[in-house]
Amino acid sequence: MGRESTDDAFVDGKVFAVSPRVSGYVTEVLVEDNQRVQAGQPLVLLDASEYEVARASARAALAEAEAMLASLELGVPLELTQTEQRVRGARAQLESMRKTLDMLGREEEAAAQELKRAEAENDLARSELRRMQALQRSGAVSRSALDTAETRARSAQAMAQASAARRDMAAKQRASTRADMARLEANIELAATGQEQADIRARQVEAQRARVELARSQAEQAELNRGYTTVKSPADGFVTRKQVQAGLMVSRGQPLLAVVPLDPQKLWITANFKETQLTRVRPGQRAYIRVDAFPDRKLLGKVESIMAGTGAVFSLFPPENATGNYVKVVQRIPVKIVFDEAPGNLPDLRVGMSALPVIFTD
């Protein structure tokens, strides 16, 4: 069975760099180096007075914005609905008046035509009456014929007067309808102005709602910032590299300390194999590991991944092989080996411990 091993290997793991999310003066440091902590445990306290003031101010601004919104919303939906109903009713009434005006116009025109016919008949009857009067004086016609002509003339005159009255009535009704329409149009314009005002108020309400949401988000952010003055542990583990003490002014993102996790399942082996050793190494192959601190323990594991480049490529100052004299050096490529052991079976490993992994390549 083929196997590959290297002594250029060490225990690796996630190391959480703990930094504040807000700036401020450190009032108290609650932990010491190498102290065991739990996830969510307070580590460092920052001066919160400034953030408490900001929180109170944001809450007051939110309350003011909500009060303004409540004031603007009062009666706006009812006012807008009533105004719209008035405008719709007035427009429907105006349309009905237009139809009435058209009908009155036709009636006036018909009355005018009827008046013309009645006046023509009246003129004819009066002319006939004058002729019959002249004939009666000469004895050419009887008295009864004259009476008939007089009756016809009076009837024609009455019909002409009635037609004139109907025409005048239609004209007056039409003029009255025109006046009513003018007043109604003025009322519609006034109601439309009221509707515009209601629309403006509705838009003001929407704008104020947006201001309320902005004030609410600012209040929530102020609450978060107040909470961020307590710097907490991101995981169960041990405190290391503590670089903070009371009285320091720290800025957002500034490293204060580190927490190394306790969970063995978050640890692995980083083994730097020579490139010539990786010909048959593949992810998933079995391996065992001996850690120098526990020489009597053989820990089981497997290859999880092989880095996509040599360590030299990702170093701070990668080699410049195009300059100077070139000396070929066998490169090393990091291989990640994870443990197969149950968490309770792993010893008390520490990040950075030296190890000797062996990979079974067949």
At residue 105, the 3 state secondary structure works out as helix
Q: Kindly state the greatest CA–CA separation across the chain.
A: 167
Q: How far apart are CA 133 and CA 146, in angstroms?
A: 6
The CATH H-level superfamily of 3-12+262-360 is Efflux pump adaptor protein, beta barrel domain (2.40.30.170)
Calculate mean pLDDT across residues 233-252. 92
CATH domain 71-224 topology: Helix Hairpins (1.10.287)
Least confident of 173-182, 222-231, 260-269, 310-319: 310-319
The ranges assigned to domains in the chain are 3-12+262-360, 71-224
Query: CA–CA separation, 336 vs 9, rounded Å?
Result: 10
340-351 in b/e form (b: 16+ CB < 10 A) is ebeeeebeebeb
pLDDT of residue 203: 79
The reported pLDDT for the residue numbered 264 is 72
- CA 18 remoteness from chain centre: 34
Average pLDDT, the chain: 81
pLDDT for residue 75? 55
Mean pLDDT value of segment 107-125: 72
Cα 102 to Cα 7, 94, 115: the distances in Å are 108, 12, 20
pLDDT digits (tens, 9 = 90+) for 124-182: 777 776 776 666 676 666 677 666 766 776 776 777 677 777 777 777 777 777 777 77
* Residue 253 in this model has a pLDDT that exceeds 60: yes
The residue-averaged pLDDT of 215-243 equals 93
Cα-flanking dihedrals φ and ψ of residue 141, to 5°? -130, 160
What are the DSSP E strand ranges found in 76-156? none
Q: How confident is the model at residue 208 (pLDDT cuts 50, 70, 90)?
A: confident
If one compares 112 and 60, the residue with the highest pLDDT of the two is 60
If pLDDT is split at 50, 70 and 90, which confidence band does 273 have?
very high
Query: Per-residue pLDDT tens for 52-109?
Result: 999 999 999 999 998 888 877 775 554 555 566 666 766 777 677 777 767 767 776 7
CB count in 10 Å sphere of residue 179: 10
56-62 LR contacts (CB < 8 Å, sep 24+)? 57/222, 58/215, 58/218, 58/219, 58/221, 58/222, 58/223, 59/219, 59/222, 61/215, 61/218, 61/219, 62/212, 62/215, 62/216, 62/218, 62/219
* C-alpha–C-alpha distance, residues 287 and 298, integer Å: 10
User: Cβ contacts of residue 9 below 8 Å, gap of 6+?
Assistant: 269, 270, 271, 272, 289, 354, 355, 356, 357
Q: Residue 141: what pLDDT?
A: 65
Residue 90: predicted pLDDT: 67
Tokens of 294: 């526990």
Of 16, 28, 14, which Cα lies nearest the Cα of 250? 28
* pLDDT score, position 172: 78
pLDDT at 333 over 70: yes
State pTM to two decimals. Answer: 0.60
Q: 159: which 2 tokens?
A: 């019909």
The torsion angles phi and psi of 97, rounded to 5 degrees, stand at -65, -35
Cβ neighbours of residue 145 closer than 8 Å, sequence gap 6 or more: 132, 136
